[in-house]
A = this chain, B = another copy of it.
Amino acid sequence: MTSHKSPLVPSAFHDMFNAQNIAVIGASENPSKLGFRIVQNLITQKKVVFPVNPHVSTTQVYPSVKDVPEKVDLAVIIVPPSVILEIIDECAIKGIRCVAIITEGFRETGPEGAELQEKLKQKLQQYDIRAIGPNTMGFHDVFTSFSICFLDVSDLQPGKVSISSQTGVLAGAFLKYINLSEHIGVNKVIDLGNMIDLDHADVLEFLLTDEKTQVIALHMEGLGDGPHFSRTLAQVTPHKPVIIVKGGVMPETRRVVESHTGSLVGDSLLFEKILKQAGALQVANFEEFVNLIKGFCFMPPPKGNKVALISGSGGTAVITIDALLKNGLHLAQFSENTLQQLKKFIPEHGKIQNPVDIWPAGVTFGLPQIYAETISILDQDPNVDVIITLLFRIRDFQYDPTPIIEAAKHCLKPIFFATMGHIVFEMRNELERNGFPTYTYGSQIARVLGSMWQYQQFCQKT
């Protein structure tokens, strides 16, 4: 799959993400076509763009990439599959080393497409051209605003996580969702498509050395070059957490995966084992994917597995504790000093213990003040590794969360929040805008913390 690798050649992704002169082969003058949108997006990004289309003859458009007067760093190809092979020939003549093949209609469509993909692969290897795709939405870099995707990503916020996928949704609805609803900023985004050349291992190599990337999240269908993947993964995980969601874990899903990216599903138990050994964190679905990305982007992993839980509801606390225990965490035993300090405002029958029930004191002295005070006290306790706060705010007991946010800002330990209610929607936004990972349910935090603690233990061993 990736036979023409050399340690002396800098990562192809590095070249692609730093391309200045870009040819769009299959550019269009029709605003409803993707070839039009891509060109427009590139122009707004202040890139040097050379639109190529043999059927359009205006002064701005070149009939062939061979006619482009300057050096081309990257060709974005969106032409029918029937002409792809000759387009690659022209790219080779022009001396282009990197291509992004947006075009669909290859291995994902059946035997005929698979045959064409094989021919394309041989041609790319013969010319030593590095390629992303085919059947990809491309990539974008939120920090530099560079995007070869047809979507407008100018409203995405930059963040710590780089995401690579084998599906286009990650370039679209998913990214907008995590950015706007989950407040997770993103760094680089890559859709690998059918992985004719560049695959998950190449992504990992690139992101390991990318200083702006602190968390790596991969959506996988096929493995690509398996041994290369496991080797690279083991090199990356001691430095950056790698979160992986894999489609096609059930053998019956094979047909659907094949018609999506043409990937081989592989043995999912073996896959799980490889990931675990290499210290990567596999999640079951996009829900857990997003929750765990948020955890790592917002907080460092806890140094130990002793949790302090603050809650205003016994029943919710109990179910959160069940989930914490299931995920390898435990309730901290508070120090004598902590108990003494909590006694100052928690009434006798308020049962001073872990979980801390702030409800009686909160109703008397004000919920935000008591939440804040409790957070500050627990942060000082040497027996506590991480704090979880279950916040409740309803119409009858409204309050301004500022004291809670201020107390959390001074915390030296990782702190997580769960909030409930439409009325607390704004509070959740405010907590996350201030850098605190906030979920709806304590059980979600328990799963996230379980993985972060697993990662912490892995790092301590390596």
Which of A54-62, A172-180, A378-386 faces chain B?
A172-180
Nearest Cβ in chain B — how far from A187, in angstroms? 20
Known: A355-B256, A394-B176, A440-B287. A105 touches B155 (CB 8 A): no
**Within 8 Å CB of A421, what residues of B?**
173, 176-177, 180-181
Chain A contacts with B in 286-341, Cβ cutoff 8 A: 286-287, 312-319, 321-323, 325-326, 330-331
Nearest Cβ in chain B — how far from A332, in angstroms? 13
Nearest Cβ in chain B — how far from A353, in angstroms? 7
Are the C-beta atoms of B173 and A392 separated by less than 8 Å? yes
Of A105, A256, A260, A287, the most chain B CB neighbours within 10 A belong to A256
Chain B residue at minimum C-beta to C-beta distance from A155: B395
Of A151, A173, A177, the most chain B CB neighbours within 10 A belong to A173
Q: Is A134 an interface residue (CB 8 A)?
A: no
Q: Determine the distance from Cα of A174 to Cα of B421 in the docked complex, in whole angstroms.
A: 7
Oligomeric state, in copies: 2
**Within 8 Å CB of A326, what residues of B?**
250
**Within 8 Å CB of A250, what residues of B?**
321-322, 325-326
SS class of chain A's interface: helix, strand, loop or mixed? mixed
Q: Is A168 an interface residue (CB 8 A)?
A: yes
Are the C-beta atoms of A253 and B325 separated by less than 8 Å? yes
Q: Is A420 an interface residue (CB 8 A)?
A: yes
Contact with B along A432-459 (1 / 0, CB 8 A): 0000000011111000000000000000
Q: Determine the distance from Cα of A118 to Cα of B19 in the docked complex, in whole angstroms.
A: 78
Are the C-beta atoms of B174 and A420 separated by less than 8 Å? yes
Contact of A257 among B219, B318, B443 (CB under 8 A): B318
Nearest Cβ in chain B — how far from A406, in angstroms? 23
Which of A8-16, A120-128, A241-249, A369-377 faces chain B?
A241-249
Are the C-beta atoms of B396 and A152 separated by less than 8 Å? yes
Q: Is A170 an interface residue (CB 8 A)?
A: yes
Q: Is A166 an interface residue (CB 8 A)?
A: yes
Chain B residue at minimum C-beta to C-beta distance from A447: B285
Q: Determine the distance from Cα of A105 to Cα of B348 in the docked complex, in whole angstroms.
A: 10
Are the C-beta atoms of B441 and A173 separated by less than 8 Å? no
Q: Is A117 an interface residue (CB 8 A)?
A: no
Q: Is A21 an interface residue (CB 8 A)?
A: no
Q: Determine the distance from Cα of A317 to Cα of B173 in the docked complex, in whole angstroms.
A: 14
Q: Determine the distance from Cα of A120 to Cα of B172 in the docked complex, in whole angstroms.
A: 62
Q: Determine the distance from Cα of A92 to Cα of B287 in the docked complex, in whole angstroms.
A: 54
Q: Is A165 an interface residue (CB 8 A)?
A: yes
**Within 8 Å CB of A321, what residues of B?**
250, 252-253, 256
Known: A104-B349, A286-B441, A443-B284. A318 touches B253 (CB 8 A): yes
Nearest Cβ in chain B — how far from A108, in angstroms? 8
Known: A176-B394, A421-B180, A441-B286. A315 touches B353 (CB 8 A): no
Q: Could you list 18 A-B pairs, sorted by A, with CB under 8 Å?
A: A104-B349, A151-B394, A167-B315, A167-B316, A169-B316, A173-B313, A173-B420, A176-B395, A177-B421, A247-B319, A250-B326, A253-B322, A260-B315, A261-B314, A285-B322, A286-B443, A287-B440, A287-B444
Known pairs A173-B392, A221-B318 / 14 extra A-B pairs, C-beta < 8 Å: A109-B349, A151-B394, A167-B313, A168-B313, A168-B314, A169-B392, A173-B393, A173-B420, A247-B322, A248-B322, A256-B318, A256-B331, A261-B314, A286-B443
- On A, residues with C-beta under 8 Å from B are 104-105, 108-109, 150-152, 155, 165-170, 172-174, 176-177, 180-181, 219, 221, 245, 247-250, 252-253, 256-257, 259-261, 284-287, 312-319, 321-323, 325-326, 330-331, 349, 351, 353, 355, 392-396, 420-425, 440-444
Top 3 nearest A-B pairs (CB, nearest first) are: A167-B315, A180-B422, A260-B314
